[in-house]
């Protein structure tokens, strides 16, 4: 989960720099976290 925390930090910092609406920031953060988790799961299964 350390990797996910780092990804969340990076995405969060990027969003702060962009100065978007906080609601939009939350949605982008959630999508980014979901995408990161799915990538990790798919890499582990190695289809």
For the stretch 15-41, pLDDT in tens is 777 777 788 878 888 888 888 888 888
Q: Region 6-22: what's the mean pLDDT?
A: 79
Closest by CA to 25, choosing from 6, 17, 44, is 17
Instruction: Name residue, tokens 């798919």.
Output: 42
Give the three-class secondary structure for 1. coil
Task: Say if pTM beats, i.e. exceeds, 0.85.
Answer: no
Q: What is the pLDDT of residue 42?
A: 85
């Amino acid at each position: 989960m350390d990797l996910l925390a780092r990804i969340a930090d990076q995405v969060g910092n990027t969003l702060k720099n962009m100065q978007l609406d906080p609601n939009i920031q939350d949605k982008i953060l959630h999508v980014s976290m979901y995408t990161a988790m799915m990538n990790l799961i798919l890499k582990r299964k190695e289809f």
